[in-house]
Amino acid sequence: MIMSAAPALRLAPIAAAPGSDVSSFFGTSAELWAVGLIFLRLASLVMLVPGLGDQAVPARYRLSFALAFAFVVTPIVRDTIPPLPPTLGAVTGQVLHEVIIGLMLGTLMRVLLFTLVTSGEIMSLQTGLSFAQTANPAQAQPSTSMGTFLAMMGLVMIYATNMHHLFIRAMVDSFHIFPAAKPVMIGDAVTLMARTIQQSFVLALQMAAPLIVFGLVFNISTGFIGRIMPNFPIFFAATPLSLLLGLALFALGLGATGMVFIDHYQDMLSVFIRQGNG
């Protein structure tokens, strides 16, 4: 019996050389990693940016804009993106790093917009319209009619004055101001957030100051009239008068309110833009 031994074929495993990119139909692993990191930061930012990040805009539209914008921005900020980490833990840490920066910048851009809502709440208390609640498209909960009106006016002024161009520039410059390869500056971010909130409340009081003075003088006057003429129905006479005079004063100062808000909002956005970057 003749036994023939056929040589066994063994396939050696193919190992990728360390540091080499894996190519696919969509590009190399380094390119996909760069686009993915940029998309994570932009998506987190776009979900909160005024206007585009409102509840009325579907999430898929916001994410689609962030993905398209990531492809556009990648050639500009590619040198700021670190290489693909070798371990899963390092990849997870880098992903969380980009998401935190995006949420931080988006929150700061949105906080100052609530200045108008706060100012509208104060004005409503002075004119007797604090119980008139309407749906605010800029947020998930209703607010007073004057607060909703001022919020919508501020949003319109931002896009009418091309202030949204500063949003785009701040998104691109954020990769140079907050590089992906450096740790998140938590202390500076908390300080900036506290300062922005403080400026927001101060600005809200300044914009509502005319109506605050009006309410103080009007209520003191009606109090004196009520003491002098106890039988006079001062409440029924003062309520419509307070409403009419308050709305007239509100309409007279509406232009100055919008200009003050836009100037302060531009100053706040200049923090996220590199100086001397043409």
Q: What is the pLDDT of residue 39?
A: 92
Pick the closest to residue 142 from 150, 134, 132 (CA basis): 134
Find, among 76, 69, 83, the residue nearest to 41 by Cα: 69
Mean pLDDT score of the chain: 80
User: Per-residue confidence at 152, pLDDT binned at 50, 70, 90?
Assistant: confident
Q: What is the DSSP string of 191-224?
A: HHHHHHHHHHHHHHHHHTHHHHHHHHHHHHHHHH
In this structure, what is the dihedral angle of CA atoms 80, 182, 42, 138, given to the nearest 10 degrees?
A: -150
| 3 pLDDT tier (thresholds 50, 70, 90) | very low
Spatial CA neighbour of 180 closest among 16, 9, 24, 40 = 40
Give the DSSP letter of residue 45. Answer: H
Q: Please, are residues 108 and 196 in contact by the beta-carbon 8 Å criterion?
A: yes
Q: Is the pLDDT of residue 146 over 80?
A: yes
Structure tokens at 138: 């800029």
pLDDT digits (tens, 9 = 90+) for 231-258: 878 778 888 888 888 889 888 988 888 8
The predicted pLDDT at position 27 comes to 58
pLDDT of residue 140: 63
Confidence class for position 24, pLDDT limits 50, 70, 90: low
- The answer to whether the CB of 46 falls within 8 A of the CB of 106 is yes
Q: What is the pTM of this model?
A: 0.75
